[in-house]
């Protein structure tokens, strides 16, 4: 690998192009962008393409403060310059307003406290339920703390209500019957109902 090739490939902002440099008389490829008018960087603007040597020369001559009065320069150099602009409010990311920091001794508890209000209710016996098991309980119309006996009783009641052999041949509840049977089959094997 030649030194000339290595020097051309390691620079940020280099874009490989076959067009020559915009400087008159230069035959090197124009691979670096430079603005046509030095003071305007708002928006897409128009660009000229320069070789590495000419973009270095352009950057060495560049002065952001060209054309500004001393008062404008001082305004731009203030430590808080730009911070007084109005910005959009931050998104809450699906969480509600954060709790008061004074309510917590550990900052991590305060952060997780924002999301705890939306957390699913736990069973009184401490046994964990998955999201699917919670949906199955809802399908059966049972509360979160239902036990194995309540599960079996509710399943029997719903099968009697929805099965066509038990409800006079009404087949309009077949979908509900299928959902009840599937929910019961999943729940009866769950550790929470063992």
User: What is the reported pLDDT for 179?
Assistant: 92
pLDDT in tens, 41-62: 556 667 889 999 998 998 888 8
Please spell the DSSP secondary structure of 118-146, one letter per residue.
TSPPPPTT-----HHHHHHHHHHT--TT-
State the pLDDT confidence band at 65, using cuts at 50, 70 and 90.
confident
CA–CA dist 14, 69 (Å, integer): 34
Domains annotated on the chain, with CATH: 3-61 (no CATH), 131-193 (1.10.287.110)
Residue 50's DSSP bridge partners are 32
The predicted-structure confidence for 79-138, as pLDDT tens digits, reads as follows: 777 677 666 666 666 655 656 666 667 767 766 666 666 667 788 887 888 888 889 999
Question: What three-state secondary structure class fits 65?
Answer: coil
Interatomic CA distance for residues 133 and 146, integer angstroms: 12
Question: How far is residue 159's CA from residue 177's CA, in Å, rounded to a whole number?
Answer: 7
């Amino acid at each position: 690998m030649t030194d000339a090739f290595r020097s051309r490939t390691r620079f940020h902002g280099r874009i490989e192009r076959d067009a020559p440099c915009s400087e008159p008389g230069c035959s090197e490829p124009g691979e670096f962008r430079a603005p046509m008018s030095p003071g305007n960087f708002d928006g897409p603007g128009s660009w000229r393409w320069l070789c590495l040597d000419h973009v270095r020369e352009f950057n060495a001559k560049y002065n952001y403060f060209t054309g500004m009065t001393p008062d404008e320069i001082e305004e731009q150099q203030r430590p808080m310059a730009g911070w007084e602009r109005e910005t959009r409010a931050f998104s809450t990311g699906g969480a509600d307003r954060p709790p008061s920091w004074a309510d917590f001794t550990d900052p991590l508890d305060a952060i997780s406290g924002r999301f705890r209000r939306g957390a699913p209710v736990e069973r009184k016996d401490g046994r964990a339920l998955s999201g699917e098991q919670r949906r199955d309980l809802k399908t059966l119309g049972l509360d979160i703390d239902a036990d194995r006996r309540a599960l079996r009783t509710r399943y029997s009641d719903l099968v009697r209500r929805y099965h066509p052999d038990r409800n006079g041949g009404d087949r309009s509840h077949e979908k509900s019957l299928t959902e009840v049977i599937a929910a019961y089959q999943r729940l009866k094997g769950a550790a929470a109902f063992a």
